[in-house]
Amino acid sequence: MKAKDKKILRLIKIQIVLLLIVVAGVTYYYASGYASQVSALKSEATSIVRKSTVDTFRQIETSEVYDSNGQTISVLKGEKDVYYITYDQIPENVVKALISIEDKKFFEHNGIDYKGITRALITTIREKEITQGGSTITQQLARTMFLTSEKTWQRKVEEIYIASELEQKYSKEQILEFYLNNVYFANGYYGIEAAAKGYFSKDISELDLSQICYLLAIPNSPTYYDPVVNPQNTITRRNLILQAMKNDGIINENTYNSAVNEEITLVRPDKVKNNYVETYVYYCATRALMETNGFEFQTEFKNDDEEAAYNQAYEEAYNQANKTLFTNGYRIYTSIDMNMQNELQNAIDTNLAEFDEVNEEGIFSLQGAGVCIDNSTGMTKAIVGGRSQAVTGYTLNRAFQSYRQPGSSIKPLIVYTPAIEMGYTPDTIVHDVKLEDGPENATGKYEGDITLRRAVAASKNTIAWQLYSEITPQVGLKYLKDLGFSKIVDDDYGMAACLGGLTVGVSPLEMAKGYATICNDGYMRDPTCIQKITDADGNVIYEFEQQEVEVYKENAARTMTDMLQSVLTDGTAKGISLGEMPAAGKTGTTNSNRDGWFVGYTKYYTTSVWVGYDQPRKVPGLTGSSYPAAIWEEYMNVIHEGLVPAEFKKPVEYIGTEEQQEDPEEIEEGEEEEPYGVFDEEFPEGEENQEEDDSYRVITQTFDGTVIPEGAIPDNAMDVQITTTTEPVVEE
């Protein structure tokens, strides 16, 4: 056979194979039921667009948030009905920038970018999940108005059909108008005019090219590019948009250089806001809606790739749920008590009033944060993320958005309660001696043989170090992971953690949750503030069901509570008192007095307090027993007024091989309650309130991979997470 004939035969065979594949595909398409599903999706898409009108893209419903007494905390309204602008009011640069970065062939296609879809399909087949969208502006409008961000083939098919129908019913200019008035710009701003007013206090027509591109950076990922929380991320994408415009020949080199070098300054309108309450409520409500939508939260991962995939899925689900808060007319019922909220804010403000230094943005340099949890329910009653002052818009909520090293306040969670589970008791004799390769005590003094109760009360670094060596960092940190502490990283698995030397750190909310767990007999509960979410007609969308997870054994938790009472009566917080109300707590101070903590509780409430600079540096006179304890004492005394003193449940006492549990109410009349391992020792004169200096020192600090001077934080970082390498301080 000639070579030419062989080539023809080969082509015929290939065509037959391809034909068979197509026939097999079509057969499978109909036989498997895909055809009927696609047909149904097409019919639904057609119906959705047919029923739509221009007014469809202007409508919005207002959501409301209520406190524990049913009083309105805030109204959530994305004001697109007020700030809707028509196409002829949209600046030319807005349209050019949008098309350049999002959909270069917008005016040429019929709503679908088939090349983009093919590219996304190939990626989906290769990675066995949908990771790329290939969406046009019209498809994004379809998803924004009529669908969710769920990554399924059905949603993608319906999106394509809706986009195609939109292109047939509305003009290109109308589609751009609808998109720019409905896309989400974070912080409750829907539409570019609302965003211009919200971030710059100007109309969109008054903004220059750089500011326009800055706004258009946000919708790609409203959480990641939030200009309030992550301004540098927004700048990075603004520059990407400007680069795209230059590459497309829309702007020249000089215009590009001028715009990319322009400094962006937000000028946000002043509104009456319950700042810290609202940011926390929105966070909790968004996560509640994510849960309702089927999202499964995760804190542990097999590898970095799994964590990266989860973070991407989390961000997308969060953005989608968060947007609905401002548009779906929800009624959000919370556990927040505004009277308690105001008292906690007042305690922080008054006790830190002497520190009046402010940063370049006019925010107080020295800050404080606090969280109060109701021990009967495990839910948040008050949350303060900083000192109150007249600022525009929302500020960083340090109570749950910032992570700092906890100092010795971490010891009960990862050292002492685990040690009790291993068999230690308050009366166990431990050896407070200078360690060759370990930390120093803050006072520089060592007492030899002492009880474990004394070690806890005096916050002995030497004892915590020895016990943690026995427990091991792997076991100790497992308790924090079980408590849901979210920033435990591989570098934390060293000895410094037992003194609070964590890489990223902990938040006041996490610390309150940890101590509330000890108070709750070792059972951890999620300290959300969302009790119920309904639609505008009262139909329940979400209702919280408190789940308890055992982290510590009951007897160990009760014993720890018993020992933490000694901190207030004979230890580092001696002098801090709630009168006749029994209380337990622990102080914490980090290296060079950068952070001060006090976390404590009664039978009624658990409250954690943190004090420190946003840009960590030494605070003269700051210890856990100074400003943090004073804030805690003032606040807790106020909220316990009128409450009957309530004793903590006693731990099990061991007498030989017999076990006997005595609750306070079970003690017979006239019978004295024997103290459990109480010691008579007191601090040497003048040392009652000396606080530990958690003996580890910083070796290096890095932010975003760059080594920075100790204590320094980049100006653009609001929710700062600094990677810190530490080593224990040992006496030379």
Token duo for residue 199: 């971030």
H-assigned helices in 368-471: 398-401, 411, 417-421, 452-457, 461-471
pLDDT of residue 707: 39
Give CA–CA dist 521/504, Å, rounded.
28
Contact predicate 126/168, CB 8 Å: no
Give CA–CA dist 473/493, Å, rounded.
5
Contact predicate 87/176, CB 8 Å: yes
pLDDT of residue 233: 95
pLDDT of residue 443: 86
pLDDT of residue 5: 65
pLDDT of residue 1: 58
Residue 276 neighbours by CB under 8 Å, 6+ apart: 345, 383, 384, 385, 386, 397, 399
What's the CA angle centered on 32, arms 29 and 35, to 5 degrees? 50
Fold classification of 343-728 is Beta-lactamase (3.40.710)
Q: What confidence tens digit (pLDDT) does each residue in 17-46 have?
A: 666 666 655 555 455 555 666 677 777 778
| 0.85 exceeded by pTM | no
What's the CA angle centered on 175, arms 173 and 176, to 5 degrees? 65
Determine the 3-state secondary structure of 138 from DSSP: helix
pLDDT of residue 470: 97
Query: Which segments of the chain have a pLDDT < 50?
Result: 29, 128-133, 272, 654-732
pLDDT of residue 47: 84
Write the DSSP string, 545-602. Answer: ---EEE-S-HHHHHHHHHHHHHHHHHSTTTT---TTS--EEEEEE-GGG-EEEEEEE-
Give CA–CA dist 567/257, Å, rounded.
61
**CATH number assigned to the domain with residue range 37-269, chosen from the 4 options 1.10.3720.10, 3.30.1300.10, 3.40.50.2000, 1.10.3810.10:** 1.10.3810.10
pLDDT of residue 448: 97
Identify the CA nearest to 600 among candidates 580, 585, 579.
Answer: 585
Q: In the chain, what are the domain boundaries? A: 3-32, 37-269, 343-728
pLDDT of residue 708: 38
Determine the 3-state secondary structure of 364 from DSSP: strand
pLDDT of residue 93: 96
CA torsion through residues 497, 502, 508, 513, sign: negative
